[in-house]
A and B are shown apart, each in its own frame.
Chain A
Amino acid sequence: MTDHFEPLIIGFTCNWCSYRAADMAGTGRVKYPPNIRLIRLMCSGRLDPTFVLKALSSGADGVLITGCHPGECHYIEQNFKALRRVNLLKRVLKPMGIDPARVKLVWASAAEGVYLAKAITNFVEEIRALGPLNWPVHTHVSEAVKQRQLAEVPR
């Protein structure tokens, strides 16, 4: 189709901090690339590693996980559990042939709209540099993703 690659990123946000940071970025009209699509969770601790794998297998090129700064968790300490899970997940991703850099954990408080926008911008560029993931085609992968993947197969 084309050699132009636009990464598609799924972002998981915490209802209490990073989702509000995204609101704050909006209120402040801070621009960031539209390549990210955010999903709201109540806490980064809710992040089931399956969600990340699901996102990657559905066509996402990267996954950004955001939560409250250590010590600021709305549920006292659940962000530490997210931290542990993400670190483990990264180790699992490697043998699967996925660069662990495609999954990133970022802390952003409800006040850090500008910071979150910057973190998103940086992550989009990092994934752009890594290139498309093209992970095993999932049955539910959208047609566009399939086409994109087919187009990149050498003829």
Chain B
Amino acid sequence: MTHKKYCLKVGNKYTNEDVYKLADQVGNINVITDDVTLGKDFTIIPVDDSLPTVWNKMRLFDTDQFPDEGIFFDLDIRILKDITNIFSPLEYMALLQTDWENLEELKRITIGNLYGYCSINSSVMVWNKKTKRQHVWNQFQKDKAKALRLFDGIDKYLEHRHFKNLSFFETGLVGSYRCNPDADVYIMSYDGEGKEWL
């Protein structure tokens, strides 16, 4: 796998130690961060101050800022098996579809709630040279002011504004610790929970 690896550490939700633990699992990693102290051990990419915390992930859609093929990991994921060859090329930016949730029930309880439904998780994102992603970034530039007001994070923004411009990993590659801690998957997403393993 020739993908460059990226993570995001902005604000206080995660510590520098979380970055080191992710690097132990995936190897050399580029850190999008506001913390210059990480610069002694990692290549750091300064945050875009116009984008609050997690919204910096949207920059991964910009081929000017991120021209190489890459893979992004949230800081609360854990690699459980060798991931070298699991990500086949996909037409659009590849994200997780939260098939561990009861999406039918979620759809039912969010009827009438414009941005309540979300079946997308951006804990792991993969793109390659041919991935079509620039148009999402361009649209985000137009939507930005409204998107930051209306959505509490990029997952819901992508779900409601770009669903047709996304690809999704096969079922079974990535799992949710919260929903199925024993799932036989390559990568486990802790989604802010079960951090005792860290």
Tell me whether A and B are bound partners: no
Interface positions of A (Cβ within 8 A of B) = none
